[in-house]
């Protein structure tokens, strides 16, 4: 297992050596895993094609490093505590030995259906243990898994299944989410009406609801497990074979299938988990992400299990049966490491501190933030009321395409500044460039964030369309991976992400990151959340349009707007005052919590009839409400 860095002095020395000879550094990290055959060359790459290959000709199976390896030292250690949606339902504790046995059995089910190395398998399931088992069973036999968040519409599911040309779908009869019972299988049936490639559907029982089963295609998980021959001998895979495809929203509206390969992803997720979170034997780790997103892949399935961690898998939502559910789980399992999104933090803040104060939270040692830059107000609340000013906050920056965390504090090691992702991990080489692609040297600079050298878990391609990968990530600036984010590097060399480059607003020649203005707006006491976009302005070039969600209050909208403007002037200055402030009931968000600013920008520009497909949003209805109130 990866041995984490122990001090800031060690980090500084390690970072320097890792970028002076990155191949030697990553080879030393890869040496800490079980390989069936060692690689013959550590790295081959260019960012022109692009082509990146790590650990060439190395042979392995990632599940041997997750399961078989731990059987020898800690078979009875809990790998996964499963917490059901309803707190009154009995949870589960699954040991590494039990996880191994269940993965081998389900791998046998897949084999019995003719699924083989290289086949694509889509997984559309709620957060139940079978989801983790299905992912690892695919990896066991060399099938490429593509997990689709179990909340996407039938149309969105069909798009992804067809793009991957999946031969099988793994799903459940239904799911529980808060007070709702959702028909999962019926949605899959609707989606598969247009998916000719799918020959097999395996259905796990969760709700017990009656579902239609198509003879010759549909099989019950529980019945197939009883007949299965376990796959104890893991398929030998090449380090550069694809491990999974994960679809992410694209600017064209067509989802991009981001492909990650086995060897590099294994090394980097374990490495980043060990170093960022500083997980130690006996700790209990709780990542609230759904496995349908990259955070769930890297820091709920692969990273923690590769390191032999004990972790929580939670089926439900943070506000059921009340807004203290996360805090209840932390106390119940004595969680030491808690990793969640700023969206969740801001939402839970709005319920008041008295909810949190019912819980001790004294087991916590490390807090984490993921998905977007965390604003200062949320950071301070998280620090004070959840961490009791005693837990370092790792504000992690990374992307689906990066596979793992690239810039982040190391817990308890890196000195913190609120809202700063701080410093790159060893082996990660960020650069800031101006609009012309000129590298900005030194500190106290601001530009577009790029990477000049590959790390092991970098995107390999977009499935079935390598040109799209090239155009999206490697064509803006020659010989650089372009993240799409703007970034500041302060006088200490610390990095602060300031939002997507197209979310930087140029007002009368002054550049403002949307996050910067949102931070100022969110300081107003009645504001729950805000989103800023630019729109054409006759005098300023770009005006600032603010969409703001407010708490219930007796104040008029005019009074709220006045106080919001005062907050912005106080925090930034008059030049950053929004030109328009629309009080809204909600914001258009993806299922992973990202705000779809493209939609907000169109509304601000008055283009109400060209918003594109909104069906895959968390709440499509909120778009109609925003349109009605557009200024």
What is residue 371's predicted lDDT score, i.e. its pLDDT? 84
3-class SS string, 323-363: CCHHHHHHHHHCCCEEEECHHHHHHHHCCCHHHHCCCCCCC
**Model pLDDT, residue 328:** 98
Give the three-state DSSP class for 155. Answer: helix
Rounded to the nearest 5 degrees, what angle is found at the Cα of 467, between the Cα atoms of 466 and 469? Answer: 65
| Number of domains the chain is built from | 1
Residue 511 pLDDT: 56
Structure tokens that stand for 548 in this block? 């703001």
DSSP 560-612: HHHHHHHHHHHHT-GGG--SEEEE-S---B-TTS-B-HHHHHHHHTT-TT---
Low-confidence ranges of the chain (pLDDT < 70): 249-254, 502-504, 506, 508-511, 538-539, 541
What's the pLDDT score for residue 504? Answer: 64
- What does the pLDDT read at residue 253? 47
| Pair 197, 105: CB distance under 8 Å | no
Bond before 20 cis per omega within 30 degrees: no
Q: Residue 536: which H helix or E strand, with range? A: strand 527-537
Could you tell me the end-to-end alpha-carbon distance of the chain, in angstroms, rounded to an integer? 56
| Mean pLDDT of the chain, nearest integer | 93
What does each C-alpha distance from 109 to 102, 125, 139, 229, 260 come to in angstroms?
11, 17, 13, 7, 25
* Residues ≥6 apart with Cβ < 8 Å to 343: 371, 372, 529, 589, 593
CA 334 to chain CA centroid, Å, is 24
CA distance 196 to 442: 55
Domain assignment of residue 557, given as a range = 508-628
Output the domain CATH number for residue 612: 3.30.300.30
Answer yes or no: is 134 within a domain: no
Q: How far is CA 293 from CA 76, 193, 258, 297, in A?
A: 29, 25, 12, 7
Q: What sections of 152-306 are H helices per DSSP? A: 154-164, 184-191, 221-227, 262-277, 294-296, 303-306
pLDDT, position 503:
61
Contacts of residue 420, Cβ cutoff 8 Å, sequence gap at least 6: 395, 490, 494, 495, 496
Measure the CA–CA gap between 194 and 341, rounded to whole angstroms: 35
Question: Dihedral angle at the C-alpha atoms of 212, 214, 218, 221, nearest 10 degrees?
Answer: 40
Tell me the C-alpha to C-alpha distance, in Å, between residue 123 and each of 115, 139, 234, 346: 14, 13, 20, 30
Question: Which residues, other chains included, contact 466 with Cβ-Cβ below 8 Å and sequence gap of 6+?
Answer: none
Do residues 431 and 302 touch, judged by C-beta distance below 8 A? no
Q: Is residue 203 part of a domain?
A: no
Q: How far apart are CA 102 and CA 94, in angstroms?
A: 10
């Amino acid at each position: 297992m990866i041995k984490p860095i122990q001090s800031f002095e060690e980090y500084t020395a390690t970072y320097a050596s890792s970028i002076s000879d990155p191949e030697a550094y990553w080879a030393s990290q890869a040496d800490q895993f079980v390989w069936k055959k060692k690689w013959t060359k550590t790295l081959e790459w260019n960012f022109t094609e692009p082509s990146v290959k790590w650990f060439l000709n190395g042979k392995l199976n990632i599940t041997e490093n997750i399961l078989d390896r731990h059987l020898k030292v800690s078979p009875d250690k809990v790998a996964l505590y499963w917490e059901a949606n309803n707190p009154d339902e009995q949870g589960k504790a699954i040991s590494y030995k039990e996880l191994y046995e269940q993965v081998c059995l389900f791998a046998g089910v897949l084999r019995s259906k003719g699924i083989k190395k290289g086949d694509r398998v889509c997984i559309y399931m709620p957060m139940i243990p079978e989801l983790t088992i299905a992912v690892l069973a695919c990896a066991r036999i060399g099938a490429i898994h593509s997990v689709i968040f179990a909340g996407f519409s039938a149309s969105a599911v069909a798009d992804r299944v067809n793009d991957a040309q999946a031969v099988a779908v793994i799903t459940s009869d239904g799911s529980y989410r808060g007070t709702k019972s959702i028909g999962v299988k019926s949605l899959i049936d609707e989606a598969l009406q247009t998916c000719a490639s799918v020959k097999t559907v395996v259905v796990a029982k969760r709700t017990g609801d009656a579902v239609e089963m198509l003879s010759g295609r549909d099989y019950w998980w529980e019945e197939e497990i009883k007949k299965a021959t376990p796959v104890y001998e893991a398929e030998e895979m090449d380090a550069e074979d694809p491990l999974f495809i994960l679809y992410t929203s694209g600017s064209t509206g067509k989802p991009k299938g981001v492909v990650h390969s086995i060897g590099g992803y294994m090394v980097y997720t374990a490495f980043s988990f060990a170093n960022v979170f500083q997980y130690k034997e006996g700790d209990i780790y709780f990542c609230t992400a759904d496995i349908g997103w990259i955070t769930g892949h890297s820091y709920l399935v692969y990273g923690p299990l590769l390191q032999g961690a004990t972790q929580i898998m939670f089926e439900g939502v943070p506000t059921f049966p009340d807004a203290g559910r996360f805090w209840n789980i932390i106390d119940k399992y004595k969680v030491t490491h808690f990793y969640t999104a700023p969206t969740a933090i801001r939402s839970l803040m709005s319920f008041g501190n008295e909810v949190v104060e019912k819980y001790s939270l004294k087991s916590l040692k490390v807090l984490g933030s993921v998905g977007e830059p965390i604003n200062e107000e949320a950071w301070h609340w998280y620090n004070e009321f959840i961490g009791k000013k005693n837990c370092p906050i790792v504000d992690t920056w990374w992307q689906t395409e990066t596979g793992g965390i690239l810039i982040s504090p190391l817990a308890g090691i890196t000195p913190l500044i609120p809202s700063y992702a701080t410093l790159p991990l060893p082996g990660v080489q960020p650069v800031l460039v101006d609009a012309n692609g000129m590298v900005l040297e030194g500190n106290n600079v601001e530009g577009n964030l790029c990477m000049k050298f590959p790390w092991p878990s970098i995107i390999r391609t977009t499935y079935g369309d390598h040109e799209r990968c090239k155009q999206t990530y490697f064509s803006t600036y020659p010989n650089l991976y372009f993240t799409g984010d703007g970034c500041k590097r302060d006088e200490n060399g610390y990095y602060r992400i300031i939002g997507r480059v197209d979310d930087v607003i140029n007002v009368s020649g002054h550049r403002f990151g949307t996050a910067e203005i949102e931070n100022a707006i969110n300081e107003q006491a009645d504001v729950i959340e805000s989103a800023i976009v630019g729109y054409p302005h006759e005098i300023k070039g770009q005006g600032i349009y603010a969409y703001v969600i407010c708490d219930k209050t007796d104040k008029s909208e005019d009074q709220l707007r006045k106080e919001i403007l005062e907050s912005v002037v106080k925090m930034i200055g008059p030049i950053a005052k929004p030109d328009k402030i629309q009080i809204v009931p909600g914001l258009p968000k993806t299922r992973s919590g990202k705000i779809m600013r493209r939609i907000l920008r169109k509304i601000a520009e008055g283009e109400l009839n060209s918003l594109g497909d909104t069906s895959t949003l968390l709440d499509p209805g909120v778009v109609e409400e925003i349109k009605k109130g557009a200024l």
